[in-house]
Homo-oligomer: A and B are copies of this chain.
Amino acid sequence: MNKVRTHHAIETIGLEGQQVRLAGWVARRRDHGGVTFIDLRDASGVVQVVADPAQLPIAADLRMEACIAVDGVVRPRPEGTVNNDLATGAFEVVVTIIELLSPAEPIPFMIDDRVEIDEQTRLEYRYLDLRRPRMAANLRARSKAVAAIRRTLDERGFLEIETPTLVSSTPEGARDMLVPSRLRPGAFYALPQSPQLFKQLLMISGVERYFQIARCYRDEDFRSDRQLEFTQLDLEGAFWDEESVQENIEATLVAAVRDLRGVDIPCPFPRMTWQESMDRYGVDKPDTRFGMEIVDLTDEFRASEFRGFAGVVNAGGVVRGINTGGRELARSAADALVDDAKRLGAKGLVWMVVEPDGSLRSPVAKFLSEGESSAIAERLQAKPGDVLLLVADQWRTAVSVLGALRLQLGRPSGHEELKFLWVTDFPMFEEGEGGLTFLHHPFTSPQDVAVMASSPLQALSRAYDVVVNGVELGSGSIRIHDPNVQSQVFEILGISQAEQESRFGWFLKALRYGTPPHGGFAFGIDRLVMVLQQEINIREVIPFPKTQSGFDPLTEAPTEVEPAQLQEVGLRLDVRREK
């Protein structure tokens, strides 16, 4: 049917003697003994094309990455020239016609995974960067992951429903991106930080199983794994409890991992409360691929002579430690660890090296009783050569600092092994600037309304995160479906009745029309594919990402616009920009 070609590169396998027409790009060209060899690359792979430049002078002139079509006959490669690294490596195509479909300028970098290129250049020539096998594989992987997720939810009777992206300002903590309205000059739409309220409206609408692969927007100062726009699987169900949500999310992840990695991850995922995660790993997104867990040593120091520790304990603090295993610890490295701990917020860090005789070498060794030393060694299961790290501080600081040092010293590189788990039972609130702030979002249901009313900081929520290899993939919760509880939560967050009415009045009203109990989840597609593809930078799995400053080196977005265009939406520039 297709006149441009009859076969893809990969389809030449086993076609010896057959006439084919191929089309693709010149991945490599070399002249050898009066013969030109061209590696022709298309979406399926690469095949070697052989031409006689005496008959086909064009063969010797082809630039790298030119787009060509060729006519020829498939033959087995001569003995000794088979290339086992290539799927088509036992064949080649002897061509009689080469048609230059599109010439190529000299390329700014080689289309080769092994070449290191600065990211600015890669993004400026993204259309060449994406021709590299690793990047092409990432595009395919992302498409497969999303297809696996959709297929799973489709089979389970979910409806895929699109919610608006020109919305009113949403209340999820980050800054909104604004879109000025032309028909109502001076008014603005916001781009959604998530479809949160619309998916809850869908539950009120009687949709019992909703999902969407949704574009979301957060105007945060860029971190290495954030973009202004990102994509999440967004999911919600009515008449659901935590198990219902988690089981469905696990099914999507199992399908994606199976299709991308060819392995079945065990289900259900392990569950761990937020408290346990903080105690054992010092973070709410534990990397459980390795041990080095945090151990509570507080009791050993309650009556210690070592004032540095005992004082902290008696003031309500804790002493926690980790055993980082056998490693060299030069004095300079030890000092660097102490600096790291201080930078992370600790007042100090105590390191200890276990000597061959089991005694502890440490700046504080002389302050410790023999009983304390041996208790530490025992609790941390210390062996000669192990390096132990201890922090005495308020609980949150102690575990956080040790959690960070644990990752710094122990975390595996890459994501070959996959350790998924659920972190559950998050606190509802934490202390923020000028009052309480939410840990998840203000629509999350408390576990116990009475506890929340009497001591909000003690209240646990019905929120849960899914974590893989120390990466928070996403989070969800059972939502509040009672408008009075919703109002109570707003109040604890310091949102007055008047402000509730003006910002969320429409939503509180909607809750009053037979809202079913409901809950849901969202996880980042970019992050999932990043982990499954063993990438460490989220931009490697986004076809056309922005730089850290929100700039696209390819199209040069964002750009200035004409003053008239601003006037149409009732705006003018507030800054004079230097030209």
Contacts and interface: CB of A to CB of B under 8 A. Distances in A.
Nearest to A184: B558
B573 A570 contact: yes
Contact of A516 (B26, B102, B565, B575): B102
Interface stretch (A74-82, A240-248, A412-420): A240-248
A364 interface: no
Given A184-B549, A205-B126, A512-B104, A161 B139 contact: yes
A570 B566 contact: no
Interface in A147-173: 147, 150, 154, 159-169
Number of copies: 2
A5 interface: yes
Interface stretch (A196-204, A271-279, A341-349): A196-204
A143 interface: yes
A25 B205 contact: no
A565 B241 CA distance: 38
Contacts of A166: 177, 217, 228-229, 546, 550, 557-558
Contact of A182 (B147, B175, B205, B514): B175
Contacts of A43: 206-209, 238
B147 A558 contact: no
Contacts of A164: 229, 544, 546, 552, 557
B104 A506 contact: no
B127 A139 contact: no
Given A4-B241, A126-B201, A165-B229, A183 B559 contact: no
Interface string A559-575: 11100011111111111
Contacts of A567: 574
A149 to B, nearest CB: 11
Interface string A183-225: 1111111110000011001101111110000010101011000
Interface string A219-260: 101100000110100000011110110010000000000000
Given A181-B550, A243-B1, A572-B571, A514 B103 contact: yes
A241 B515 CA distance: 52
A516 B546 CA distance: 26
Given A228-B166, A543-B163, A570-B574, A506 B130 contact: no
A185 to B, nearest CB: 5
26 contacts: A1-B243, A26-B514, A102-B482, A102-B516, A127-B205, A128-B513, A130-B202, A136-B207, A139-B161, A147-B150, A150-B150, A162-B215, A162-B543, A165-B215, A166-B557, A168-B557, A179-B558, A180-B180, A184-B549, A187-B558, A188-B559, A188-B560, A189-B558, A190-B557, A202-B543, A571-B572
Contact of A5 (B167, B222, B239): B239
A516 B68 CA distance: 8
A368 interface: no
Interface string A397-426: 000000000000000000000000000000
A387 interface: no
A462 interface: no
Interface string A105-117: 1010000000000
Given A165-B215, A168-B556, A186 B573 contact: yes
A177 B178 contact: no
A179 B191 contact: yes
A551 interface: yes
A375 interface: no
Contacts of A42: 206, 208
A165 to B, nearest CB: 6
A131 B575 contact: no
A551 B184 CA distance: 9
A177 B175 contact: no
Given A166-B546, A513-B128, A2 B506 contact: no
A41 interface: yes
Nearest to A107: B513
A140 interface: yes
Given A41-B206, A104-B514, A571-B572, 9 more contacts: A4-B517, A23-B516, A43-B209, A43-B238, A65-B514, A128-B513, A182-B219, A183-B222, A570-B574
A142 interface: yes
A332 interface: no
A331 interface: no
Query: Which of A69, A215, A239, A566 counts the most chain B CB atoms within 10 A?
Result: A239
A555 interface: yes
Contact of A159 (B25, B140, B517): B140
Contacts of A160: 143, 146-147
Contacts of A142: 161-162
B571 A573 contact: yes
A3 interface: yes
A58 interface: no
Q: Lowest 8 CB-CB distances: which A-B pairs, in order?
A: A130-B205, A168-B557, A187-B558, A104-B514, A67-B514, A43-B208, A4-B239, A143-B159
A101 interface: yes
A493 interface: no
Contact of A577 (B127, B186, B231): B186
